[in-house]
Amino acid sequence: MTPTQKRLASGGYLDRSQVLKFTFDGRQYAGFKGDTLASALLASGVSLVGRSFKYHRPRGILSAGAEEPNALVTVGTGARREPNLPATMLELTSGLDAASQNNWPSLRFDVQSVNSLFSPLLSSGFYYKTFMGPSRRAWMFYEHFIRKAAGLGKATMMPDPDVYDSRDDFTDVAVVGSGAAGLSAARAAAHAGARVLLIEQDFEIGGRLLSEPAAAAWLSAMRAELEEMANVRIMRRTTAFGLYDGNTLALIEDADPFAGPAMDAARKTFTLLHARSIVLATGAIERPMVFSNNDRPSVMLNSAIRTYVNRYAVLPGRNVVIATADDSAYLTAFDLLAHGARVTIADARPMAEPTLLTRAKQMGAEVHLATNVANVKGKYAVEGVVLAGMAGTTGVSCDLVGMSAGWSPVLHLTSHQGVKPVYRPDIDAFVPGLLPETQFVAGAATRSSGVSAAIAEGAGVGRAAAAVAGKVGAVAEAPALEIEETAGPTTVYKPIFGQRKAFVDFQMDVTLDDIQLAQREGYESVEHLKRYTTLGMGTDQGKTSNINALKAMAKLRGISIPEAGTTTFRPPYTPVAIGAVAGRATGHHFRPYRLTPIHDWHTANGAQMLEVGLWMRPWFFEASGKDVNAAYVNEMRHVRSAAGIMDISTLGKIDIQGPDAATFLDRVYANGFASLKVGRARYGVMLRDDGIVFDDGTTTRVGPDCFFMTTSTAKAADVLSWLEFLLDTAWPDLRVSVSSVSDEWAGMSVAGPESGKILAAAFPDIGFSNEALPHMGLAEGAFRDSPLRIIRLSYSGERAYEIYVGASNGEAAWRHLIDVGAPHGLKPYGVEALGALRVEKGHVAGPEIDGRTTLSDLGMGRMVAKRSGYVGEALSRREAFTAANRQRLVGLKCIEAGKRLRGGALLFAPGEPLEGHGHGRMTSITYSPELDCYVGLGLLAADFEGDEVIASYPMKNEVVRARVVSPVFLDPAGERMHG
């Protein structure tokens, strides 16, 4: 077999000077520049290219476009392995390495093809009927094997080494499709003065005109004219896969493989195109016919055969049977006859256009009217067919079968915004419904009658689309194109029941028998039919199968085609690589690190960094210990005995100003803020509407109408959004503005017995005595050229201060404090010690404020006992929130020597079975140097009896006894904090 045994000697849109070598299933072949993988394989005599999903039946190339359901291949190896690519859309390149899918051990000998023998047992719904028993847990056994057998190609688990881009683009008129109507529309809109973007998924513009030899000169002239116009851009290799609100098109553009390597070049580019108007010239897809074994390799759509003959100069067969219910198939027959093929036409209609019949017979074709293909002979390639006509059945030997049951306009983009298709019985097709005033459709997508009509229609909508953008310049008439055309269908083709292995959906192995079974079992709705049989749920989304399935169900139900309805078209039109949508937003470009102004100092001084939310924070410092368990305990001890400094720049910081700022905060916080004096701070808790605790933090009154709010690191963005929402919707009359200033301030906390001395030495112009700066007091000043705010407050239980300075001076202030504090033993500590210190003091944080707890649960009910009028008040008083068995905050102290507590452990009563969820859970734990044991905070049912629990941690099979105590383990009177 020679590499080009089916290649014609001349013709086609090929550059025969560029021979491209490629491999398929490890064997080397050759093609030309301008080929697709499919055309190059056909030229080399390869008819078997894949296996079907369920039955693993041999499959060949069916189409020549994006509708291809059979010829799916995996391209590349290693990290660049990409599965499920239609060979019909793969532009041939030198070195292309492709492999067939869904077979083992080889394409020709596939063990799982035995499924076909058991097809009566694998009918629609067999998963539901087979794998739900005999016991309730049976599915857990079956699931592994079902998932292993599912899918077609296999993707790589390795990181993708390629680069992807994303961008926004803008144009006056976007034209989707570059066939006769699309080219005419783009030309007219451009002549009118509009900026035009012409979008074509193929690597050549021209659409179906590329299959029309007589259109070559017209196409060349039109392409040259558009390429010379400054206000026209052409995007080849670009698929418009979704249409969204505001005339927004989602596009995926593949890189030109012949453009040469470029540093950091994107393999694919995702574009959100914003257009003033859109012309959808998306064409139509030919429908297959339904007969026994219509899925065999070398059974193709007639339009595909014509494309391979005229565009790619490939003659797929020399002894051809053309099965049709549409006049357009005769043009395929004429092209085949002109290249020396023997052609038999089986026309399902009792009558055909007389001129077509006459010409077909004159060229040597054998024509049979009122005749259908009843069966296809052969396994790995077509060997013959059985024709069924009025005179009975007859066998015809052949090596290629073409089929055409009419055409389906490509409606996907027109339907993405909810526009319902409309059925036109005169053309046996659904066409777009009423579109918005800024969107237009033209050409085969409307089933316009012929190329001349499509050109005229395209020019008209092009002018109208330009007018939407305010461009009304004179438009020169488009050059005429005279090519041979045919009329539309004269009858409506409907699948004939009673045939075996008559496939409607080739990729998902759905047959006419499956549709009949679904109807008998009550799945008559098109959407139910789709899900019960998996029809249209493959990578091709049923582009060639949906209408035939719809017709079959309508016939079974005895209703009209429009009454049966259509499935819902959703984006994407064709599969989209996730990498292309992500663009460069991967890894830490997707969720970038946020670094505090003091980050460089931390890394230079032995900090082990930890990603906390979006921030990188010091976990612990190596000077305190080589591992976190030793380091955080040492850092705790040092804070309690001397002083420690912590970077708190990650706290959310919100500036709240306006005459009604105090009133606003009085409503936002559950505890009152209207009485807060200038120069004082207050700890506050916010509730959600449903009465659940949302976030806590400290807010300081800087001036009569100005407040400085700090939130938890994790909830900073959520709190700001919540405040803005309340001002916009609940209280738009309040004169308040809120602004995030998180990045404007660097923050650091100095805590410990020596903290007051350190601050006094660092900022001698500010008084730090208890009288000058009491607990929850504010002092202001300046550091270098930045404003300085110092708030005396503590979450560790020690005397502590929060220092805020302009971000640009953050590291300088930190270094200043380190230098001044060194004689007093000041050392940095990390977030592990920070969390441990707050647990010892009994302060709640994220693990306790987890979206399920109320103020009463957290022991804060007294804060709001006499208040009303705050967000969440009404629902916080629900009966369920005061139930006796509701879990409340407690302290837990390990009472078994040598053992530890675990966060997440379940709490049980001593002696009861350790089953279920227990009476509560551990939320936060730490080793306490002060108590020399593990302690923690937890939530325990309020009606729990006894002061001892069993903390069970099943993940490590640990069971530990603990005593229920006060959540405040250290200094309950607050003497250290206030002293």
Looking at the structure, tell me whether residues 656 and 646 fall in a common domain: no
Reported as half-sphere exposure (CB side, CA atoms, 13 A), residue 337 has a value of: 19
Peptide bond into 105 cis (omega under 30): yes
* Percentage of residues in the chain having pLDDT higher than 90: 81
Q: Which residues of 190-202 are buried (b: 16+ CB within 10 A; e: fewer)?
A: bbbbbbbbbbbbb
Taking the C-alpha atoms of residue 85 and residue 71, their distance in angstroms, rounded to an integer, is: 8
Strands 745-751 and 643-647: what pairing? antiparallel
41 & 109 share domain: yes
- Domain endpoint, select from 60, 83, 116: 116
CATH number of the domain encompassing residue 710: 3.30.70.1400
Q: From the CB of residue 717, how many other CB atoms can be counted at a distance below 10 Å?
A: 14
pLDDT digits (tens, 9 = 90+) for 35-93: 999 999 999 999 999 999 888 999 999 999 999 999 999 999 999 999 999 999 999 99
Three-class DSSP category at 321 = strand
Looking at the structure, tell me whether residues 171 and 277 fall in a common domain: yes
According to DSSP, the β-strands at 248-254 and 268-280 are: antiparallel
Q: Is the pTM value of this prediction over 0.85?
A: no
**Res. 3: pLDDT tops 60:** no
Count of the separate structural domains present in the chain: 7
Give dist(CA 126, CA 145) in Å, integer. Answer: 15
End-of-domain residue from the set 360, 382, 404: 404
Q: Is the pLDDT of residue 920 over 50?
A: yes
What is the Cα–Cα distance from 331 to 195, expressed in whole angstroms?
37
Using an 8 Å Cβ cutoff, are 73 and 50 in contact? yes
Tokens of 668: 């936002």
What's the confidence (pLDDT) of residue 140?
A: 75
Amino acid at 268: K
**Residue 851 domain-assigned (yes or no):** no
DSSP string for 234-248: EE-SEEEEEEETTTE
Please tell me whether residues 330 and 372 are part of one structural domain: yes
Residue 859 falls within a domain, yes or no? no
> CB neighbours (10 Å) of residue 633?
20
pLDDT at position 486 is: 80
pLDDT grade, residue 263 (50/70/90)? low
Does a structural domain hold residue 671?
yes
Are 331 and 430 contained in the same domain?
A: no
**In a shared domain, residues 268 and 196:** yes
Helix axes 526-533, 512-520, angle to 10 degrees: 120
pLDDT classification of 117: cutoffs 50, 70, 90 = low
Q: What domain range includes position 616? A: 595-650+744-837
760 shares its domain with 827: yes
**Which residues fall within 8 angstroms of residue 85, CB to CB, at 6 or more apart?**
72, 73, 74, 75
Residue 155, domain member (yes or no): no
Structural domain contains residue 582: no
Nearest Cα neighbor of 976 from 682, 640, 633, 645 is 640
Confidence of residue 882 (pLDDT cuts 50, 70, 90): confident
Residue 863 lies in a domain: no
**Pairwise CA distance, residues 205 & 946, whole Å:** 81
For residues 494-512, average pLDDT? 91
Write down the pLDDT at residue 134: 74
Mean pLDDT of 363-372: 96
pLDDT at 979 over 70: yes
Tens of pLDDT along 797-850?
999 999 999 999 999 999 999 999 999 999 999 999 999 999 999 999 999 999
CATH assignment at residue 624: 3.30.1360.120
Mean pLDDT for the stretch of residues 304-329: 96
Which pLDDT band, with edges at 50, 70 and 90, does 5 fall under?
A: confident
Amino acid identity at 972: P
CATH number, residue 384: 3.50.50.60
Contact 662, 682 (CB under 8 A): no
Q: Look over the chain and give the mean of its residue pLDDT values, rounded to a whole number.
A: 93
- Interval 889-905 mean pLDDT: 95
Residue 809 located in a structural domain: yes
Q: What is the CATH number of the domain that holds 895?
A: 2.40.30.110
Reply yes or no on whether the pLDDT at 773 is more than 80.
yes
138-169 pLDDT tens trace: 777 777 777 776 778 888 889 888 999 999 99
Look up the CATH number of the domain holding residue 85: 3.10.20.440
- Distance from C-alpha of 89 to C-alpha of 86, rounded to nearest angstrom: 6
Final residue of a domain: which of 81, 116, 151?
116
Determine contact, residues 189/172, Cβ cutoff 8 Å.
yes
What is the C-alpha to C-alpha distance for residues 358 and 16, in angstroms, rounded to an integer? 37
Mean per-residue pLDDT for 908-914?
95
Q: Is 658 left (phi over 0), alpha (psi -120 to 50) or beta?
A: left
340: Cβ–Cβ under 8 A, 6 or more apart, which residues?
Answer: 315, 318
Per-residue model confidence as pLDDT tens digits over 382-416: 999 999 998 899 999 999 999 999 999 999 999 99
CA distance 263 to 274: 28
pLDDT, mean of residues 759-778: 96
SS3 for 740-797 is ECCCCEEEEEEECCCHHHHHHHHCCCCCCCCCCCCCCEEEEEEECCEEEEEECCCCCC
Same domain, 276 and 182: yes
Please tell me whether residues 462 and 509 are part of one structural domain.
no
Residue 125 in any domain: the answer is no
pLDDT at 92: 97
Q: Of 2-6, 173-177, 182-186, 569-573, which gets the smallest average pLDDT? A: 2-6
pLDDT of residue 537: 87
Residues 372, 337 share a domain: yes
Measured CA to CA, the distance from residue 236 to residue 206 in angstroms comes to: 11
Whether a cis peptide bond, with omega within 30° of 0, leads into 572 is: yes
H or E stretch at 876: helix 873-876
What is the reported pLDDT for 590?
A: 80
Q: What sections of 110-215 are H helices per DSSP? A: 126-130, 138-149, 180-191
Same domain, 736 and 752: no
918 and 806 in a common domain: no
